[in-house]
A and B are shown apart, each in its own frame.
Chain A
């Protein structure tokens, strides 16, 4: 009985995994096809057009957009995670006036999507002369409601305050304590947040759509949409570009997969 149910589990999971993987697999396979060929048969097996597609992709503004996307995602992620961890520590380690208010503010930020204010944001950026740069796509991530909520949750459930107390008694400066002692303690939570913010900013579509007006500030999703020309959308090349664009995410998530679930466990369980 027990063995049977185990096999049953594996069969079900294998089936679901195939469904999960199939479109992903198609993306890889189709990236080896010439656009016209994609529509002719069932493209299950790789074809021989990959290098040509790669050429098309790299002859365009792909590398520039890739670098832009990397810049936007890395900067957004690093600054957002540090800011979130700081506010999480502030709320966990101190009792101060307005603490309750701040927690409610974070909850509210999480509920209100940034897109709601994008018109005002655009005018603000225009006034600050930041349109035409990558800044609008980075700044919007800095005070992220989810990030702050996440770090508050995580630290309250899994930061041992005794360590912080003993560091204080030893005369450690709070900044020092935060970077040297607290940050290593909350590594799984940090990894999870890094992965999610990187993912969300990398795939972000609406805000770049509003702000990208020329090639120099294109990010990957916008760039892919623009591949091809007015007469022929080059699907083969688009898919090649997308497959290459998924690599950083794939590497990050496989490298962080152990910490990711661990981080989710401590952060989300309290909901």
Chain B
């Protein structure tokens, strides 16, 4: 403190205060984010159950993931499939709802809050309620189908249908969140631009396509990138729905709802408690997330040139 006073006022603003303000984040980041990840990375070269001696096994864990362990690839495929059939719908619905909402004078706050509710509902509750809705015998969805003279489906027992149910759950949950983000973006577009377009005789649809959508592009990129990162971390919903303590089989019917993180959790903390191998799985998930995010960002940039 004394030293800084001596060196004059300028140093205060280039060294002392920046450190004060930035230090808490940096310290916590190193202690509780970076260190655990690096430690996991180190563990991924060992065979260890959490107690006793660690055995160094080199790349054996990684070799096993690539050559022997079918679950890693399967969980990757499951996760990607469920992402692809859910998030695009959530994003499109979110955009459309926000466009409708932005035209309203009355009741905007009301609709906005109501549509945001699914996002704040605890995943545990969502899992339970969807289990009721899609139950084969007593679920409402099948009863409605029967009213229409269609045979009820075995939603939670069929591998593909179970994935569809998870996807519906995700689309239902995230639509409101994306709506809020888009709504924020639309609010920030200057009314003058719209006025000018209207004077030029542009219709509502043209305005939406030629003005609103392009101006919302930064938000769309933000949403797509975060939804990819979030989608690859899918865990709560499938786990809560299909993690039944009475069976030892995890991942739902035919393990079709076993996601990357669920597989990781099961390997590291579930039945086997293989911390070293689990860490290797985590590192692979990390690589997948980085790769897919990079590809995503690349694709987005290419699209930019087209529009």
Contact = CB atoms under 8 A, between A and B. Distances in A.
Contact of A203 (B24, B123, B183, B188): B123
Contact of A269 (B31, B40, B113, B218): B218
B33 A87 contact: no
B45 interface: no
Contacts of B28: 83, 139, 142-143
B123 A16 contact: no
A175 B20 CA distance: 9
Contacts of B126: 23
B103 A246 contact: no
B92 interface: no
A119 B282 contact: yes
Contact of A17 (B111, B184, B268): B111
Contacts of B188: 265-266, 269
B64 to A, nearest CB: 16
B24 to A, nearest CB: 5
B128 A113 contact: no
B85 interface: no
A224 B219 contact: no
Interface in B126-155: 126, 128-130, 132-133, 135, 138, 140, 143
A23 B121 contact: yes
Interface in A37-58: 38-40, 42
Interface residues of B, number: 96
Given A23-B129, A24-B117, A221 B21 contact: no
A262 B264 CA distance: 38
A113 B22 contact: no
B82 to A, nearest CB: 17
A181 interface: no
A163 interface: no
B36 A124 contact: yes
B38 interface: yes
Contacts of A265: 184-185, 187-188
Given A24-B121, A225-B124, A261-B187, A268 B219 contact: yes
A102 interface: yes
Nearest to A258: B109
A129 B1 CA distance: 34
A119 B114 contact: no
Interface in A220-266: 220-221, 224-225, 235, 238-239, 242-243, 245-246, 249-250, 253-254, 257-258, 260-262, 264-266
A100 interface: no
B123 A142 contact: no
Contacts of A21: 114, 117
A254 B114 CA distance: 10
A186 to B, nearest CB: 14
A209 B97 CA distance: 35
B197 interface: no
Contact of B32 (A87, A140, A148): A140
Q: Do most interface residues of chain B lie in helix, strand or loop, or is the interface mixed?
A: helix
Contact of A13 (B38, B111, B132, B133): B111
A86 B21 contact: yes
Interface residues of A, number: 94
B22 A102 contact: yes
Nearest to A205: B236
Interface in A73-128: 82-84, 86-87, 89-91, 93-97, 99, 102, 105, 109, 111-121, 123-124
B240 interface: yes
A225 B240 contact: yes
Given A116-B282, A116-B286, A242-B125, A102 B26 contact: yes
B115 A17 contact: yes
Nearest to B41: A120
A102 B153 CA distance: 52
B41 to A, nearest CB: 8
Given A17-B114, A113-B229, A142-B28, A120 B240 contact: no
Interface of A: 5-6, 9-10, 12-13, 16-17, 19-21, 23-24, 26-27, 30, 38-40, 42, 82-84, 86-87, 89-91, 93-97, 99, 102, 105, 109, 111-121, 123-124, 139-140, 142-143, 145, 148, 174-175, 178, 199, 202-203, 205-206, 209-210, 220-221, 224-225, 235, 238-239, 242-243, 245-246, 249-250, 253-254, 257-258, 260-262, 264-271
What 7 pairs across the A-B complex have the smallest Cβ distances?
Answer: A120-B39, A271-B218, A90-B21, A117-B36, A264-B184, A120-B36, A117-B37
Interface of B: 13-15, 17-18, 20-22, 24-26, 28-29, 31-33, 35-43, 50, 93, 97, 100-101, 103-104, 107, 109, 111-126, 128-130, 132-133, 135, 138, 140, 143, 172, 175-176, 180-181, 183-185, 187-188, 204, 218-219, 221-222, 229, 232-233, 235-236, 239-240, 261, 264-265, 268-269, 275, 278-279, 282-283, 285-286, 289-290, 293
29 contacts: A13-B97, A13-B101, A16-B93, A20-B117, A21-B114, A21-B117, A42-B140, A83-B24, A87-B21, A87-B25, A87-B26, A93-B17, A94-B13, A111-B289, A116-B282, A116-B286, A117-B35, A118-B268, A120-B279, A139-B28, A143-B32, A205-B124, A206-B236, A206-B261, A206-B265, A249-B120, A268-B222, A269-B188, A269-B219
